[in-house]
């Protein structure tokens, strides 16, 4: 009862914070608008530089256009229809929350916790639906995302009350991150629009920012789970690589969708950017983010390059580089790691690092040790998939062994047993789904993700007349689906562990915020006006919302070359 | 301005085939992931034996790690097992007498007895962390007495409540040198394992010729077939078809009727009577005593064998007095006596009275579950008279109640070793009991089991029956 009241009070406090945030945003916006008008007046008076060349003016312009678009939509929307739809959404979301509460109740408890979180969850969900309805984006896509979000919270609630897998983190934290993510996502849209409208600046800016973040990580990053992807501020850890990943997506989307630039140049520049990311990610041993960047790079290349031949050439070169890098890694690994004796080699693939060598780095170059560590990490992950029995289950294989046990306990509709699995709340959340809701629940989760992807392609991407915006939203959506599928595959032991969270289900701070930013942008990119106004010949202010000029819808459809 | 913009921008291209290919790849990958999930969780049994086995092992291990073994109590509610001080493992209080029944549970050596058979109940894996509680039908003092009466002999004593089928005691010993103590499995496993068939419960799993105890069935068959007045002149040997059957100690009994034949266990009489009866009738009677049937009990399965080849007089004659290819467990011999004492109705013996979990009865034994109408009431009454006469002959007179008895001696495969039986039925204060004592690998064919039986008879009255 005390826990219930505590969480309820926190939820109410949380609602107050949202209100305060909206009011603050309104005040800042009014102030910025005032400043902008003053600056514009001065510029007109001076008649010096053109308006668009002013960097800050351009950002404020985007905010201004975004706000005016929002206000126009609010004014012009069919209020009756909007209210009706929102009422339906409200009822549906309440039913979903009630269903998940029931699920918690029938599972291992925690329904009271979920009910106490119902209010903020309802607000978060309704903000997403309100946004969707306002932009007349695809309703089903948003609704599926909300199901996933609520499912994620329900899972974390169940985890919180689970004795075996219980995390000490309060689920309210998850909701706070969700809301922060949501609010940041709404604010991020004009920033993205600005970046799309100023492609050259955006590319340099994102690359520069990424490098800056990587350097910060190298200097101040804290090591966790073998990577230096985290930074701790005031006791709270932030995964900075989530930001660099997002920046990487933006860079790739802009580069690949710049049709004015020749395909060779586009690919070359994107590859250079990828190599920069790869270099830094190698230094901080964050292979999951690198994998996501490579996948998105390949997918965007396939989607946006006129011919695949050049893409195949580049991929071949990249594979060659990867092979050489593996060879170097293997050599470093051999020189750094202790040679196993014959008996050990027969029974275990896992070799332990020679303590003397680790303690005397002067014997090896730092780069050699780093390469050896990265190679060993990768090798171990592959061995855990190929031959898990060969790994010491009390050390390196502990997690995989625990995951296998959890898999074995799963049944069609959930398991009555509990199994402790390290990081089950994030990387291995799919196993928790299998444990609590069975294979049925697991399949449902995958189906939701796939349905979201297909809906996005059919109802959003194919209808979007803005090339760069389409590329960016595609990068985001493909990142979400690929992340979900890879996390699932690695959780069930069919793919090496990638160390990525399952979008919207896993417990996470930075990842949750980034997922919301991506989701909101995906919804935003599917807005009706982006297509309807584009087909009209008259210029509409909405045409420029999104930073780029819409192309006629008809011109987007052509046959594959 | 707008027109100019349009003209400057080249036609954006949508590679529909590529998009379709990517979508198809995502869908295909999802299908693979779903298939792998289904396969790896093993929800469809039989897809992979390895995964099925792993699932069972993992769940069993989980249950064991998260559950304290449920307790075993005897029929009076007295504990047979007790959780040790650290609250993890249960120890058998009557370590040797109950070890074959309860069995051992070891991560290294596996499981046996009830701990193996009822693993899912004992370690139910429920959140209370305590497994189900078992109430057995045994009486611990009687069980302990029976085990002690066996001494250092290899053999068993099984005692049944005739009216219900409850097993009151089931003592077993497999070695003259060392008794089985399940509490010491980790220390003694290697020693136990070196002794042939050490882990076999002699009362239920030892399948040997029943010796002269089978004469009860031959006698029943004679009575059924109106041959109860059949007489035979014994000259010390029975010869038919080129073989000779002799009595124990080469005794000669002269004119012998059924009662005398039973009293003195005259092999020649039963050999000739068997031949007179014929294989079909004898086998038919034996099969009504559940020979050749797999008797599924709540803790084990009993097997027996009778196979008299057609026109093989030698086999027929040998079978009739309890040798030949006959095989039976001591518990089933007790069941034969139970049927005789119960006017021909054979009940299924049972060891577990009830299983309780969270104060709910999850299993309740079926009392008086009839296995067979072995013989009719009239035949049973006649047999009771004959076997009571036997008991008097064995000096088990009215002092012990109304007692029926039959001894038996079977020659073992290894020459010079004998397997002795004594099967007893008793009506004491309206309660009916049947028990069988057997001792194996005896060098003395005249080893007397009757003192053991007398001690048991004196103590049976102490057992509280409903």
Q: If you count them, how many residues does chain A have?
A: 561
pLDDT band at A53 (very low <50, low <70, confident <90, very high): low
Beta-carbon contacts of residue B27 (< 8 Å; ≥ 6 apart): A450, A454
pLDDT at A164: 64
- Better-predicted residue by pLDDT, B284 or A352: B284
pLDDT band at A454 (very low <50, low <70, confident <90, very high): very high
Residues of chain B neighbouring A461 (CB-CB closer than 8 A): 19
pLDDT band at A311 (very low <50, low <70, confident <90, very high): confident
- Flag whether the ipTM exceeds 0.90: no
Nearest Cβ partner of B41 from A306, A407, A551? Answer: A407
- Asked if residue A417 lies in contact with residue B62, where contact means CB atoms within 8 angstroms, the answer is yes
Give the residue-averaged pLDDT of A350-355: 44
Nearest Cβ partner of A303 from B19, B26, B57? Answer: B19
Model confidence at A71: pLDDT above 60: yes
User: Cα(B224)–Cα(A500) distance, rounded to whole angstroms?
Assistant: 81
pLDDT band at A102 (very low <50, low <70, confident <90, very high): confident
Strand partners, A222: A230
How is residue A4 written in tokens?
């219930």
The answer, for A409 touching chain B at a CB cutoff of 8 Å, is yes
- Asked if residue B186 lies in contact with residue B215, where contact means CB atoms within 8 angstroms, the answer is no
Side-chain-facing half-sphere of A558: CA atoms under 13 Å: 13
pLDDT at A554: 36
pLDDT at A497: 85
Most B CBs within 10 Å, among A164, A480, A560, to test the B interface: A560
Report the Cα B137 to chain-centroid distance in Å.
14
The answer, for B54 touching chain A at a CB cutoff of 8 Å, is yes
Q: Which residues of A63-76 are buried (b: 16+ CB within 10 A; e: fewer)?
A: bbbbbebbeebeee
How is residue B268 written in tokens?
């020649």
- Asked if residue B288 lies in contact with residue B375, where contact means CB atoms within 8 angstroms, the answer is yes
**Nearest-5° Cα angle at B456, B454 to B462:** 125
Residues of chain A neighbouring B37 (CB-CB closer than 8 A): 434, 439, 442-443, 488, 492
pLDDT at A42: 57
Most A CBs within 10 Å, among B37, B39, B49, B127, to test the A interface: B37
Strand blocks (E) in B121-261 = 133-136, 154-161, 167-173, 232-234, 237-239, 244-246, 254-256
How is residue B266 written in tokens?
């005259």
Model pLDDT for residues B156-200, shown as the tens digit of each residue? 999 999 999 999 999 999 998 899 999 999 899 999 999 988 999
Nearest Cβ partner of B14 from A302, A409, A556? Answer: A556
Q: What is the least distance, in Å, from the CA of A454 to any CA of chain B?
A: 7
Q: What is the C-alpha radius of gyration for chain A, rounded to an integer number of angstroms?
A: 25
- Better-predicted residue by pLDDT, A251 or B56: A251
Residue carrying the six token digits 């992979």: B48
Q: For the residues of A428-441, what is the DSSP string, one character each? A: THHHHHHHHHHHHH
Burial of A11 (0-12, 13-18, 19+ CB in 10 A): buried
Give the residue-averaged pLDDT of B311-337: 91
Nearest Cβ partner of A560 from B16, B40, B55? Answer: B16
Model confidence at A242: pLDDT above 70: yes
Query: Per mean pLDDT, which range of A316-320, B75-79, B230-234, B308-312 is the poorest?
Result: B308-312
Model pLDDT for residues B97-151, shown as the tens digit of each residue? 999 999 998 878 888 999 989 888 888 756 667 888 999 999 999 999 999 999 9
Average pLDDT, chain A: 79
pTM of the full predicted structure? 0.67
Q: Which sign does the torsion angle of CA B96, B99, B100, B106 carry?
A: negative
Residue of B nearest to A551 (CA): B6
Q: What is the least distance, in Å, from the CA of B106 to any CA of chain A?
A: 20
Strand partners, B370: B347
* End-to-end Cα spacing for chain A: 65
Side-chain-facing half-sphere of A192: CA atoms under 13 Å: 28
pLDDT band at A3 (very low <50, low <70, confident <90, very high): low
Among A425, A353, A409, which Cα is nearest to A153's? A425
Model pLDDT for residues A383-430, shown as the tens digit of each residue? 888 887 777 766 777 888 888 888 888 888 888 777 888 888 888 899
Most B CBs within 10 Å, among A303, A408, A465, A498, to test the B interface: A408
Instruction: Say whether A240 sits in a helix, a strand or coil.
Output: helix
Nearest Cβ partner of B40 from A260, A485, A492? Answer: A492
Query: Per mean pLDDT, which range of A40-44, A131-135, B125-129, B325-329 is the poorest?
Result: A40-44
- Asked if residue B389 lies in contact with residue B377, where contact means CB atoms within 8 angstroms, the answer is no
Model confidence at A465: pLDDT above 90: no
pLDDT band at A329 (very low <50, low <70, confident <90, very high): confident
Give the residue-averaged pLDDT of A352-374: 63
Model pLDDT for residues B387-446, shown as the tens digit of each residue? 999 999 888 877 888 999 999 988 887 788 889 999 999 998 889 999 999 999 888 888
Q: Which long-range contacts (CB under 8 A, 24 or more apart) does B111-115 make?
A: B112/B182, B112/B199, B113/B182, B113/B201, B113/B299, B114/B72, B114/B299, B114/B351, B114/B352, B115/B69
Answer yes or no: do A558 and B33 touch at CB < 8 A.
no
């Amino acid at each position: 009862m005390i826990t219930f009241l505590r969480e309820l009070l926190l939820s109410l406090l949380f609602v107050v914070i949202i209100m305060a945030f909206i009011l603050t945003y309104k005040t800042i916006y009014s102030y910025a608008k005032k400043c902008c008008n003053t600056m514009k007046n001065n510029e007109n008076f001076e008649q010096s530089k053109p308006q668009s060349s002013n960097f800050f003016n351009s950002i404020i312009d985007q905010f201004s256009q975004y706000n005016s678009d929002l206000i126009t939509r609010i004014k012009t929307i069919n209020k009756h229809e909007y209210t009706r739809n929102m009422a339906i959404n409200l009822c549906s979301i309440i039913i979903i929350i009630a269903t998940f509460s029931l699920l918690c109740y029938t599972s291992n408890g925690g329904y009271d916790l979920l009910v106490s979180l119902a209010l903020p969850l309802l607000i978060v969900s309704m903000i997403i639906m309100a946004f969707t309805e306002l932009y007349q984006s695809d309703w089903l896509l948003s609704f599926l995302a909300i199901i996933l979000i609520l499912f994620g919270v329900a899972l974390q609630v169940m985890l919180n009350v689970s004795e075996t897998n219980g995390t000490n983190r309060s689920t309210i934290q998850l909701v706070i991150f969700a809301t922060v993510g949501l609010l940041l996502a709404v604010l991020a849209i004009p920033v993205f629009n600005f970046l799309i409208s100023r492609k050259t600046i955006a590319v340099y800016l994102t690359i520069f920012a990424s490098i800056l973040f990587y350097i910060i990580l190298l200097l101040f990053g804290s090591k966790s789970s073998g990577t230096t992807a985290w930074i701790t501020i005031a006791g709270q850890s932030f995964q900075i690589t989530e930001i660099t990943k997002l920046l990487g997506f933006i860079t790739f989307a802009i580069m690949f969708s710049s049709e004015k630039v020749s395909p060779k140049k586009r690919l070359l520049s994107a590859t250079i950017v990828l190599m920069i990311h790869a270099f830094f990610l190698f230094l901080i041993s964050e292979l999951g983010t690198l994998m996501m960047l490579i996948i998105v790079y390949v997918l965007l290349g396939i989607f946006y390059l006129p011919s695949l031949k050049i893409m195949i050439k580049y991929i071949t070169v990249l594979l060659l580089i990867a092979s050489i890098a593996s060879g170097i890694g293997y050599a470093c690994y051999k020189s750094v790691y202790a040679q196993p004796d014959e008996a050990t080699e027969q029974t275990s693939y896992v070799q332990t690092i020679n303590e003397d060598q680790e303690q005397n780095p002067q014997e090896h170059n730092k780069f050699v040790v780093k390469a050896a560590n990265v190679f060993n990490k990768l090798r171990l992950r592959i061995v855990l998939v190929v031959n898990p029995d060969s790994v010491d289950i009390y050390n390196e294989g502990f997690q995989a062994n625990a995951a296998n046990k959890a898999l074995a306990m799963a049944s069609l509709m959930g398991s009555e047993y509990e199994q402790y699995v390290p990081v089950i709340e994030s990387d291995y959340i799919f196993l928790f789904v299998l444990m609590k809701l069975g294979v049925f629940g697991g399949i449902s989760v995958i189906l939701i993700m796939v349905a979201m992807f297909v809906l996005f392609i059919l109802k959003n991407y194919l209808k979007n007349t803005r090339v760069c915006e389409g590329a960016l939203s595609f990068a985001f959506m493909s990142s979400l689906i690929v992340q979900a599928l890879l996390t699932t595959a690695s959780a069930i032991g069919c793919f090496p562990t990638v160390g990525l969270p399952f979008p919207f289900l896993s417990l996470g701070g930075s990842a949750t915020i980034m997922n919301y930013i991506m989701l909101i942008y995906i919804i935003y990119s599917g807005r009706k006006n982006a297509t309807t106004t584009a087909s009209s010949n008259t210029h509409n202010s909405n045409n420029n919302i999104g930073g780029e000029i819409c192309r006629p819808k008809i011109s987007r459809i052509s046959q594959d070359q | 301005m707008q027109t100019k913009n349009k003209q400057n921008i080249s036609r954006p291209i949508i590679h529909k085939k590529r998009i379709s290919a990517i979508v198809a790849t995502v869908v295909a990958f999802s299908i693979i992931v779903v298939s792998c999930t289904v396969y790896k969780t093993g929800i469809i049994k039989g897809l992979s034996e390895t995964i099925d086995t792993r699932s069972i092992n993992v769940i069993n291990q989980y249950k064991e790690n998260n559950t304290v073994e449920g307790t075993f109590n005897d029929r009076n509610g007295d504990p047979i097992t007790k959780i040790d001080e650290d609250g993890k493992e249960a120890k058998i209080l009557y370590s040797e007498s109950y070890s074959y029944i309860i069995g051992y549970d070891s991560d290294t050596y596996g499981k046996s007895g009830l701990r193996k058979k009822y693993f899912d109940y004992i370690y139910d894996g429920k959140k209370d962390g305590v497994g189900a509680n078992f109430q057995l039908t045994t009486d611990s003092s009687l069980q302990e007495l029976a085990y002690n009466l066996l001494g250092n002999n290899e053999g068993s004593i099984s005692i049944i409540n005739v009216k219900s089928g409850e097993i009151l005691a089931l003592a077993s010993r497999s070695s003259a040198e060392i008794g089985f103590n399940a509490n010491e499995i980790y220390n003694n496993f290697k020693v136990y394992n070196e002794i042939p068939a050490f882990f076999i419960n002699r009362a239920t799993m030892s399948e040997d010729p029943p010796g002269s105890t089978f004469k009860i069935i031959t006698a029943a068959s004679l009575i059924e077939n109106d041959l109860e007045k059949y007489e035979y002149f014994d000259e010390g040997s029975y010869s038919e078809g080129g073989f000779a059957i002799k009595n124990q100690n080469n005794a000669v009994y002269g004119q012998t009727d059924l009662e005398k034949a039973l009293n003195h266990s005259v092999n020649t009489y039963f050999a000739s009577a068997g031949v007179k009866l014929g294989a079909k009738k004898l086998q038919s009677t034996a099969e009504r005593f559940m020979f050749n049937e797999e008797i599924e009990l709540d803790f084990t399965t009993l097997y027996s064998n009778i196979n008299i080849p057609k026109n093989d007089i030698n086999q027929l004659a040998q079978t009739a007095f309890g040798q030949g290819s006959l095989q039976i467990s001591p518990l089933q011999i007790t069941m034969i006596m139970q049927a005789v004492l119960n006017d021909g109705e054979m009940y299924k013996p049972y060891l577990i009275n009830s299983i309780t979990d969270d104060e709910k009865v999850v299993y309740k034994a079926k009392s008086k579950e009839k296995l067979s109408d072995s013989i009719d009431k009239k035949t049973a009454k006649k047999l009771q008279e004959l076997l009571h006469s036997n008991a008097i002959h064995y000096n088990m007179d009215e002092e012990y109640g109304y007692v029926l008895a039959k001894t038996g001696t079977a020659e073992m495969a290894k020459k010079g070793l004998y397997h002795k039986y004594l099967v007893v039925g008793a009506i004491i204060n309206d309660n009916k009991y049947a028990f069988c004592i057997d001792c194996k690998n005896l060098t003395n064919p005249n080893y007397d089991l009757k003192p053991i039986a007398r001690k048991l008879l004196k103590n049976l009255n102490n057992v509280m029956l409903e």
